[in-house]
Structure 1
Amino acid sequence: MTSFAIKTIAACALAAGTLGAFSTAHAHITLEYQVAPANSSYKATFKVGHGCAGSPIRQIVVTLPPGVRGAKPMPKPGWQIEIERQPAAPGAAGEARRISWTARTREDMLPDAYYDEFVLQARLPGQSGALYWPVSQVCEQGRADWTEVPGPGQKLSDLQAPAAYLEILPAEGGGGHQH
């Protein structure tokens, strides 16, 4: 294993531990892995811990941050996937800009008392820094929009309904495996 790979793994573990403790206490939809290298393939696993004041979840909608490319959602039994794409040149498919999972029936909805994950894979932007993933949680009765992004001088912990957060680390070396 290269020294860059070891440093990256160590930085990811440290950041994930720090952010993981913070995010579970303050946000209701978070990413399982909250750090990743720039320009890498990333498995975004959105952790959903509860419904809306006792009401089951019938839909999860993820808005992809700018620069995220090639997004592919993971199917879930009982849930229908819809991909909203950006306009593209004639004859070409545009990049995904929003992905939603919708329960097919009431029995497929996620009850408030249960936890689940919604997953997609995508290529991250080449620049390091913070990346926010707005997520809407639509319930049988009500909804929660986890879409707030900190402004200048504001902390993520100051927000009432923060978007899922990912820290992109600088890409070094360039010798990694690419798809």
Structure 2
Amino acid sequence: MQRIAIAIAIASLAAAAAQAHVVLEYKVAPAGSYYKASFQVGHGCGKSATRQVVVQVPDAVVSAHPQPKAGWTVAIDKAGERATRITWTAKGDADKLPSDFYDEFQLMAKLAAEPATLYWPVVQVCDEGRAEWTQVPAAGQAASDLKSPAAVLEVLPNEGGGHKH
């Protein structure tokens, strides 16, 4: 009986860990639309607070503009006019995200006109350690098989209902 209880506890921890990745709030969007990417950070690195979140912008994103966050600075790396990486960094110790709390880091993205699966690698830097949510599945591999999957967005064909500029 004790073995069953231990197996259930281990399975529960594994399920909780699977839910602990940095993920996008909305996982689908129409091609050619503006999309609010909200990266949900559900924990730190073990008990260590998060002090920085770095998001790689997929090549199929035409433009990306981060939302400012109180207590955090925002840096935008660009290739020409296009944002390629966005970094939020806590200004001080009081601004860091404690491991027991959840927060979101947001940006507005203009998506390309073609449907695609977009992977958004995210690096979470903590006071002690880091979590690299950067793995992309190989052909035929399920994202659920990965230990540290990148956030994923399915860009669907635009049926004319999306907001375009």
TM-score by length of 2: 0.86
2:55 and 2:131 map into 1 onto residues whose CA distance is 12
What is the match of residue 13 of structure 1?
Answer: none
Contact kept, 8 Å, 2:34 with 2:110, in 1: the verdict is yes
Asked if residue 178 in structure 1 is aligned to residue 164 in structure 2, the reply is: yes
Runs of at least 5 residues in structure 2 that lack an aligned partner in the other structure: 1-14
Contact kept, 8 Å, 1:27 with 1:162, in 2: the verdict is no
Residue 76 of structure 1 aligns to a residue whose secondary structure is coil
Runs of at least 5 residues in structure 1 that lack an aligned partner in the other structure: 1-21, 89-93
Cα 1:26–1:153 shift into 2, 3 Å: farther
How far apart are 1:26 and its partner, in Å?
4.4
Percent sequence identity is 55
List per-residue Cα deviations over 1:82-115 (Å, max 9, x = no partner): 00001x2xxxxx2100000000001100000000
The root-mean-square deviation of aligned C-alpha atoms, in Å, is 1.8
> Match for 2:33: what amino acid?
S
List per-residue Cα deviations over 1:17-38 (Å, max 9, x = no partner): xxxxx9x944510000000000
1:1-179 alignment runs, 5 A limit = 25-26=18-19, 28-86=21-79, 88=80, 94-173=81-160, 176-179=162-165
Contact kept, 8 Å, 2:58 with 2:120, in 1: the verdict is yes
What is the match of residue 19 of structure 1?
Answer: none
Instruction: Count matched residues.
Output: 151
> Match for 2:32: what amino acid?
N
- Structure with the higher strand share, 1 or 2: 2
